[in-house]
Amino acid sequence: DGGITQSPKYLFRKEGQNVTLSCEQNLNHDAMYWYRQDPGQGLRLIYYSQIVNDFQKGDIAEGYSVSREKKESFPLTVTSAQKNPTAFYLCASTPTGGFYEQYFGPGTRLTVT
Protein backbone atom coordinates (compact mmCIF):
# COMPACT_ATOMS: atom_id res chain seq x y z
CA ASP A 1 0.00 0.00 0.00
CA GLY A 2 1.23 3.49 -0.80
CA GLY A 3 1.11 6.06 1.93
CA ILE A 4 2.78 7.84 4.79
CA THR A 5 3.68 6.12 8.01
CA GLN A 6 4.53 7.73 11.31
CA SER A 7 5.88 5.92 14.31
CA PRO A 8 5.26 5.49 17.07
CA LYS A 9 1.59 6.40 17.51
CA TYR A 10 2.15 7.39 21.15
CA LEU A 11 5.42 8.59 22.66
CA PHE A 12 6.24 9.50 26.23
CA ARG A 13 9.39 11.31 27.30
CA LYS A 14 10.80 13.01 30.33
CA GLU A 15 11.46 16.72 30.24
CA GLY A 16 14.98 17.52 29.07
CA GLN A 17 15.26 14.59 26.67
CA ASN A 18 15.45 14.91 22.91
CA VAL A 19 13.07 12.68 20.95
CA THR A 20 12.89 11.83 17.25
CA LEU A 21 9.64 11.23 15.42
CA SER A 22 9.70 9.11 12.30
CA CYS A 23 7.97 9.91 9.00
CA GLU A 24 8.31 7.67 5.94
CA GLN A 25 6.50 7.83 2.59
CA ASN A 26 6.51 5.51 -0.41
CA LEU A 27 4.53 7.84 -2.67
CA ASN A 28 7.67 9.14 -4.42
CA HIS A 29 6.73 12.63 -3.31
CA ASP A 30 9.35 15.37 -3.40
CA ALA A 31 7.94 17.66 -0.72
CA MET A 32 7.38 16.77 2.93
CA TYR A 33 6.02 18.76 5.86
CA TRP A 34 5.83 18.60 9.65
CA TYR A 35 2.92 20.14 11.54
CA ARG A 36 2.05 20.50 15.16
CA GLN A 37 -1.56 20.39 16.39
CA ASP A 38 -2.66 21.43 19.87
CA PRO A 39 -6.08 20.50 21.32
CA GLY A 40 -8.93 22.25 19.51
CA GLN A 41 -6.54 24.02 17.18
CA GLY A 42 -5.56 23.94 13.56
CA LEU A 43 -2.20 22.81 12.24
CA ARG A 44 0.94 24.91 12.47
CA LEU A 45 3.90 24.33 10.18
CA ILE A 46 7.18 23.39 11.86
CA TYR A 47 9.51 22.54 8.96
CA TYR A 48 9.19 21.60 5.32
CA SER A 49 11.42 20.14 2.65
CA GLN A 50 10.96 20.41 -1.09
CA ILE A 51 13.91 18.25 -2.08
CA VAL A 52 16.47 15.90 -0.57
CA ASN A 53 19.19 17.61 1.51
CA ASP A 54 17.20 20.83 1.72
CA PHE A 55 14.66 22.05 4.26
CA GLN A 56 13.14 25.32 5.43
CA LYS A 57 11.76 26.61 8.72
CA GLY A 58 8.04 26.99 9.09
CA ASP A 59 6.15 29.23 11.48
CA ILE A 60 7.17 27.49 14.72
CA ALA A 61 10.61 25.93 14.10
CA GLU A 62 12.22 26.94 17.40
CA GLY A 63 13.13 23.89 19.49
CA TYR A 64 12.83 21.48 16.56
CA SER A 65 15.27 20.09 14.00
CA VAL A 66 14.89 17.95 10.88
CA SER A 67 16.94 16.15 8.26
CA ARG A 68 16.17 15.00 4.72
CA GLU A 69 18.88 12.56 3.70
CA LYS A 70 16.54 10.34 1.71
CA LYS A 71 13.53 11.23 -0.42
CA GLU A 72 11.24 8.90 1.51
CA SER A 73 12.22 9.95 5.03
CA PHE A 74 11.83 13.22 6.97
CA PRO A 75 12.46 12.67 10.71
CA LEU A 76 11.65 15.40 13.23
CA THR A 77 13.64 15.84 16.45
CA VAL A 78 11.95 17.60 19.32
CA THR A 79 14.77 19.02 21.39
CA SER A 80 14.89 19.94 25.06
CA ALA A 81 14.82 23.58 23.94
CA GLN A 82 11.18 23.24 22.88
CA LYS A 83 9.30 24.83 25.78
CA ASN A 84 5.98 23.09 25.33
CA PRO A 85 6.54 19.89 23.34
CA THR A 86 3.42 17.97 24.33
CA ALA A 87 1.26 17.92 21.18
CA PHE A 88 0.02 15.87 18.23
CA TYR A 89 2.55 15.84 15.39
CA LEU A 90 1.51 15.27 11.79
CA CYS A 91 3.67 14.60 8.76
CA ALA A 92 2.48 15.23 5.20
CA SER A 93 3.79 15.06 1.64
CA THR A 94 2.95 16.30 -1.85
CA PRO A 95 4.27 15.35 -5.30
CA THR A 96 6.05 18.67 -5.48
CA GLY A 97 5.77 21.99 -3.75
CA GLY A 98 2.78 24.06 -4.74
CA PHE A 99 -0.84 23.66 -5.69
CA TYR A 100 -1.41 20.04 -4.71
CA GLU A 101 -3.32 18.30 -1.97
CA GLN A 102 -1.27 17.08 0.94
CA TYR A 103 -1.26 13.45 2.02
CA PHE A 104 -1.09 13.02 5.79
CA GLY A 105 0.27 10.33 8.05
CA PRO A 106 -1.70 9.06 11.08
CA GLY A 107 0.20 11.29 13.52
CA THR A 108 2.29 10.82 16.66
CA ARG A 109 1.00 11.98 20.02
CA LEU A 110 3.95 13.12 22.13
CA THR A 111 3.61 13.59 25.87
CA VAL A 112 6.47 15.12 27.82
CA THR A 113 6.33 15.11 31.61
Partner 1 sequence: SQQGEEDPQTLSIQEGENATMNCSYKTSINNLQWYRQNSGRGLVHLILIRSNEREKHSGRLRVTLDTSKKSSSLLITASRAADTASYFCATDMGSSNTGKLIFGQGTTLQVKP
Interface residue list for partner 1 (CB under 8 A) = 4, 6, 31, 33, 35, 40-45, 48, 50, 56, 58-59, 88, 90, 92, 94, 96-107, 109
Q: How far is the CB of 113 from partner 1 (least distance, A)?
A: 19
Q: How far is the CB of 99 from partner 1 (least distance, A)?
A: 6
Q: How far is the CB of 16 from partner 1 (least distance, A)?
A: 27
Residue closer to partner 1 (CB basis): 3 or 18: 3
With CA atoms as reference, report the closest residue to 21 among 40, 42, 60, 47: 47
Q: How far is the CB of 31 from partner 1 (least distance, A)?
A: 5
In order, the DSSP letters of the chain are ---EEEE-SEEEE-TT--EEEEEEE-S--SEEEEEEE-TT--EEEEEEEEETTEEEE-TT-TTEEE--SBTTB--EEE-TT-S---EEEEEEEESSSSSSPPEE---EEEEE-
Residue closer to partner 1 (CB basis): 80 or 109: 109
Residue closer to partner 1 (CB basis): 80 or 102: 102
Residue closer to partner 1 (CB basis): 18 or 51: 51
